[in-house]
């Protein structure tokens, strides 16, 4: 993959972060799913991802099948086991469809493994060299929250379509992209009292610094509450908010996630666009469902956030949320869960200067989520 220009607004140096683990960006996100062929069709049709690479029986892989999809700098891998004894089956049984791997693009996967393991990471994959006619890749991996892992990918000596063993996936069905550009942040939900454990993990083991924290006073409604801290690597390209449930009058949405996912895991993947109105219009037309935002939200939103470049009417029609911090504003929207269990969803975000995460929207958002929870009888 070519060198990524992630955009100057993200190149803010976080001074407290340490640089023993230089990260170039998110390399890929791998989901274990029950039926990769059909999931791939969904991500192409609904989200505008493009066919990129494939591995399965036809390419010599005997026990599983993986479809790789791309849109601009985002690479999704969808993997399903082909035999009953494959350990991926247990993951699917425990968690349903969900994110297994958040892979990070590095220059040196061996050093990334050694430095993080030295600082206390639990090894998942020893540095491994994989090669084919397109060159070689070195990958290594460590465990993070739940059964989720980080894999470090060193691909500077490789020019194939994805990884050794994968073939270019040629398809006659190529729905157009919808303007999704790169992974802005990936959010983890962890159990009661575990947020600081994982904040410490990202600080101590990966050299990340804390950007922001929200406590349950910031992020609570009449019924539900959560706490959140945002961890970032030094160049700001990798941002991992960590949520834990907090006590409210009814069940926290984080607890609902933990119950259905069977533990900690990735709650949402936030994807950046340069034109959220066009992107969300296209996604809705293709069947992606978004959380409903009440009209009342828009009656006073401009009093809260001040002047914005966009007309309010299309934002309100689509249900796009607006927030402002000291550096600018942002536009964001959240899908409903994209899997059967009420677990993983997507956020679409357009940053107009703001580097924060929409704190001012939490209350409005969570009230919208609670209406969804209520309809499932899990509030």
Q: Which residues of the chain form contacts with Fe ion (CB under 5 A)? A: 270, 347
Q: In 3-state terms, what secondary structure has residue 369?
A: helix
Contact present, 132 and 164 (Cβ < 8 Å): yes
- Nearest approach, Cβ of 84 to Fe ion (angstroms)? 37
C-alpha distances out from residue 161 to 45, 75, 122, 158, 366, Å: 21, 11, 30, 9, 40
Nearer to Fe ion, 138 or 270 (CB): 270
Report residue 189 as tokens. 């939900």
Nearer to Fe ion, 270 or 354 (CB): 270
- Nearest approach, Cβ of 154 to Fe ion (angstroms)? 28
- Nearest approach, Cβ of 226 to Fe ion (angstroms)? 12
Task: State which residue has the least CB distance to Fe ion.
Answer: 270
Measured CA to CA, the distance from residue 19 to residue 5 in angstroms comes to 19
Q: Tell me, what DSSP letter sits at residue 12?
A: -
Short-list 154, 229, 234, 140, CA closest to 188: 229
Short-list 328, 363, 371, CA closest to 349: 328
- Nearest approach, Cβ of 7 to Fe ion (angstroms)? 17
The residues pairing with 365 across neighbouring beta strands, listed in sequence order, are none
Nearer to Fe ion, 69 or 272 (CB): 272
User: How much helix, strand and coil, in percent to the nearest 5, is found in the chain?
Assistant: 25, 35, 40
Q: What phi and psi values does residue 12 have, to the nearest 5 degrees?
A: -80, 125
Nearer to Fe ion, 153 or 321 (CB): 321
- Nearest approach, Cβ of 294 to Fe ion (angstroms)? 20
Nearer to Fe ion, 205 or 321 (CB): 321
- Nearest approach, Cβ of 184 to Fe ion (angstroms)? 8
Nearer to Fe ion, 65 or 230 (CB): 230
């Amino acid at each position: 993959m070519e060198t990524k220009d992630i955009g100057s607004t993200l190149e803010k140096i976080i001074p407290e972060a340490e640089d023993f683990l230089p990260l170039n960006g998110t390399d890929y996100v791998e989901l274990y799913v029950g039926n990769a062929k059909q999931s791939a069709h969904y991500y192409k049709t609904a989200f505008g991802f493009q066919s990129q690479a494939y591995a399965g029986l036809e390419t010599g892989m005997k026990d599983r099948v993986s479809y790789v999809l791309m849109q601009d700098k985002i690479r999704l891998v969808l993997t399903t086991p082909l035999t009953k004894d494959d350990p991926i089956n247990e993951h699917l049984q425990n968690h349903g469809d969900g994110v297994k791997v958040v892979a990070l693009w590095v220059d040196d996967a061996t050093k990334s493994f050694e430095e993080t393991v030295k600082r206390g990471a639990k090894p998942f994959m020893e540095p491994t060299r994989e090669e084919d006619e397109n060159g070689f890749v070195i990958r290594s991996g460590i465990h993070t929250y739940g059964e989720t892992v980080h894999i470090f990918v060193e691909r500077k000596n490789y020019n194939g379509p994805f990884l050794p063993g994968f073939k270019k996936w040629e398809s006659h069905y190529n729905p157009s992209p919808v303007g999704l550009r790169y992974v802005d942040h990936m959010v983890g939900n962890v159990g009661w009292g575990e947020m600081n454990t994982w904040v410490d993990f990202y600080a101590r083991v990966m050299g990340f610094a804390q950007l922001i924290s929200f406590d349950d006073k910031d992020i609570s409604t009449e019924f539900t509450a959560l706490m959140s801290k945002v961890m970032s690597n030094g160049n700001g390209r990798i941002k991992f908010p960590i949520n834990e449930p907090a006590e409210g009058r009814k069940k926290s949405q984080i607890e609902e996630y933990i119950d259905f996912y069977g533990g900690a895991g990735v709650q949402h993947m936030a994807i950046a666009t340069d034109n959220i109105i066009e992107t969300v219009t296209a996604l809705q037309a293709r069947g992606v469902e978004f959380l409903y935002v009440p009209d009342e939200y828009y009656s006073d939103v401009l009093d809260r956030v001040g002047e914005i470049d966009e007309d309010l009417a299309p934002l309100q029609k689509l249900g796009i949320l607006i927030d402002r911090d000291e550096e600018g504003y942002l536009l964001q929207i959240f899908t409903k869960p994209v899997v059967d269990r009420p677990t993983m969803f997507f956020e679409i975000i357009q940053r107009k200067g703001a580097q924060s995460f929409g704190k001012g929207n939490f209350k409005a958002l969570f009230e919208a989520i609670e209406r969804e929870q209520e309809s499932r009888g899990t509030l």
